Each structure stands twice: as C-alpha cells, then as structure tokens.
A = this chain, B = another copy of it.
Amino acid sequence: MKEAFITFKQIGTIRTPYYNNAPYQPVDQEEDSFFIEIHGDYVDGLNDLSKFSYAYVLFYAHQAQGRAEMVVSPPWAKGKKVGLFSSRSPVRPNPIGLSVVRIKEIRENMIFISGIDVFDGTPLLDVKPYIKDLDNKSDANYGWLDELDDKDHLTLHIKGIPHEH
C-alpha cells in the first residue's frame, strides 16, 4: 500500500514555562503559565469553549527527534519494552501530540489551561471539546502499566505529579 501524505497547518502556539525540558505528562499549576494563543483568523471559533471543563489539545510534537522505533521503552518503565502504539511516546510515525487539559479561562485569542507536557512554542493543530458521554470512559484501564511492580509510583510520573523517591 503506498503512503499518502497530508498537509496540516499551524493554527496557534502553545505557551508553557518549559524551555529546555518538559514533563512527560501535564502538571497542573496555580499560575497562568500555560496558555494557547490561537491565530487571529480563528478567534471566533473559541466561542462557547469555556463552557466545557476539559478540552483536547492536538499539537505537532516538533521537538520529537529521530526515526520512530516500533518497540519502545518508556521512561520510568524500568526497561520494559512495549509496542509504540501502546505508548504515548512523542516519537511516532506522525508526531501528533494529544493532551486533555482543563480550561481555566478564555481571553481574546488566549485559552488559559492546566499544565501541558510540551515545550514553549509548540505548534497547535486543533482544539476539541472533551464531552462527558463520548470521552469519559469510566471502565478504562492501565493496560501494560498494571504489570509493573510499582505502578502507583509510575503513575505519579505519568501524570507529572512531583513526589519524593
């Protein structure tokens, strides 16, 4: 089967305090240090978004380097090797990142959000509402993470929650 290429465009920029390194997953912060600036043409598209508690942010993981390997060993997973598509590694055939963020406030072209695991300047591809009935799967599980001895500890890393070792 031949590969088809598809072109998308940057529609905004994600602003974070992470200039050199990012946590592996979102950390919630008190301050307004995480926000999304959307390009001017798209501002009217933000109407009503603040009525949702959460949104999906899709972004181009532009700092993900290298060729995607199909078997990966996620950080903190203590050497366990798993298939790439069962991981959230940013180094993928298509480096499209996905995070669920809490919407705090929308002002003009800026969406203030809870923490997100990306570098400052990350290109925005899309924002979608997280709708309770569609997206909240109460019977979701932890997949292979359940097989790890210290899953509870690992979960803190995955969620980016600071803790002592």
Whether A58 is near chain B, meaning CB under 8 Å from some CB there, is yes
| Interface size bracket, A side | 35 or more
Q: Does any Cβ of B come within 8 Å of A52's Cβ? A: yes
B residues less than 8 Å from A132 (CB atoms): 140-142
A44 to B144, CA, bound (A): 16
Give chain A interface residues in 82-124, CB to chain B under 8 Å.
Answer: 82-88, 92-94, 96, 98, 100, 123
User: Given the complex, which residues of B lie within 8 Å of A147, measured CB to CB?
Assistant: 51
- Bound-state Cα–Cα, A140 to B87, Å: 24
Interfacial residues, chain A to chain B (CB-CB below 8 A): 1, 3-11, 13, 25-26, 38-49, 51-56, 58, 60, 68, 70-71, 82-88, 92-94, 96, 98, 100, 123, 125-147, 155, 158-159
Subset of 29 A-B contacts with CB under 8 Å? A1-B40, A3-B9, A5-B10, A8-B96, A11-B93, A11-B94, A26-B134, A41-B70, A44-B70, A44-B84, A45-B68, A47-B82, A47-B86, A49-B83, A51-B144, A52-B86, A52-B144, A53-B143, A56-B98, A58-B96, A94-B126, A96-B96, A96-B125, A129-B143, A132-B141, A133-B142, A136-B136, A136-B137, A136-B138
